[in-house]
Amino acid sequence: MADRTSVELFAGGGGLAMAVHRAGFRPLLLNEFARHACDTLEANGAKPRGEDEWVPELGQPWPLVAGDVQKLRLTYLNGRVDVLAGGPPCQPFSLGGVAKGDEDRRNMFPELFRAIREIQPKAVICENVRGLLRPSFKPYFEYILRELSLPFLERDPDSNWETHDAVLRETDLASVDPTKRYDVVMTPVNAADYGVPQIRNRVIIAAFRADLGVNLDRFRDLVRPTHSEAALFRSIRDGHYWERHPDVPKHVRDRVEATLPGTIPVDELSPWRTLRDAVNGDGDNGPLPKIPWNRLDRREYHVGGFTDHVGWPDARIYPGHTPNVMDRPAKTVKAGVHGVPGGESVLLTDERVKDETDPSGYRYRHRYMTVRETARVMTFPDDWKLSGPRGEKMRQLGNAVPVLLGQVFAEAVAGCLDEAVSAQ
């Protein structure tokens, strides 16, 4: 494959940037506003670009511009970028946010469109929350897709989005220079369906410059789900799942198997990966050590050589804050804006104690997930360094794109670009 290049806006803790890089794209620029996230990017090899506009050569560090994307100018990269990637801040569209949508000053989609105009990338990858698909936001979301298709038809700053949407609707696509319009594909996803050990419902938008003639059906084929809940259920029932986890106590296995549905559909997909799969490790990752109950003390110690695998006290279970269970994908990792840093980041362990108030006579002990466990749920590698206090690390993870999910879509974009070049 040719030397493919990328630019990442709203880079956060680096999940999508890492995914795009793994798919073969060389970052020419990263941009991020949050200080601790910028520190994370630097800790993993990014280098502040400074005021001078320069393009890195092969092997040079990723240039980082820390600060407001609204002040970032990218015209010096015009014609050099294969993929522009980024997830504009999702608070305006999140179920947990204030849901003001287009009226919210945190809406950064206009900056994404400006970046497209300035660099004319061959493709765009954008991730955001499923809240964009809510009925109340559907008209605005459809407007976003149309604006992404025609980013060079700029909105009059004195007009509202509905007026500009009418202009976009009336535009004859055939009359627009194909180097200045994009073919857009929107894919609702659950990260668990792609091998991520987490239930995470999102929307991923890909756009290809129209002059390239990319086969959109081919792209859709490349991003079809690869894992399923039914396959996980089957692997638990037939015992293959427990063969991977032979140390699970019988009372846990019995409890899990009692929750399986009577009839399980048959498919050809792989099983959903679970929180237990993430904690026990696979591939290059070994198992994470257990956190001793007497070490829920916030103290920085490195159990078994793993960083950020630190016990945290005072985890509670209460209505609306139920725990993760080990033999399902984890619940959605949140960014810490829902009360407890990291959201519902409590897990139910395999250890039980007697409790006469419970009908079974026992209750299972619970604790907070460690930052390292959460990073694994987001499919970050163990050697990825996270900067800041615990709450900020969890915020970065909650705002990130799971690396594996991003990689699936970035590799599909790379494959389609390669095929389009070959066909020309």
Which residue numbers are catalytic? 90
C-alpha distances out from residue 141 to 67, 97, 148, 150, 296, Å: 27, 17, 11, 14, 44
- What does the DSSP assignment read for 202-265? EEEEEEEEGGG---HHHHHHHTS--EEHHHHHHHHHHSHHHHH-TTS-HHHHHHHHTTS-SS--
Tokens of 283: 């591939």
β partners of residue 352: 364
Amino acid at 362: Y
Contact yes or no for 386/396 (Cβ under 8 A) = yes
Alpha-carbon Rg for the chain in angstroms: 23
The label of the residue with tokens 């929350």 reads 129
Instruction: 103-110: list long-range contacts, CB under 8 Å, 24+ apart.
Output: 108/10, 108/69, 109/144, 109/147, 110/155
Tokens of 297: 């003390």
User: Distance (Å, rounded) from C-alpha 320 to C-alpha 62?
Assistant: 41
Amino acid at the residue 288? L
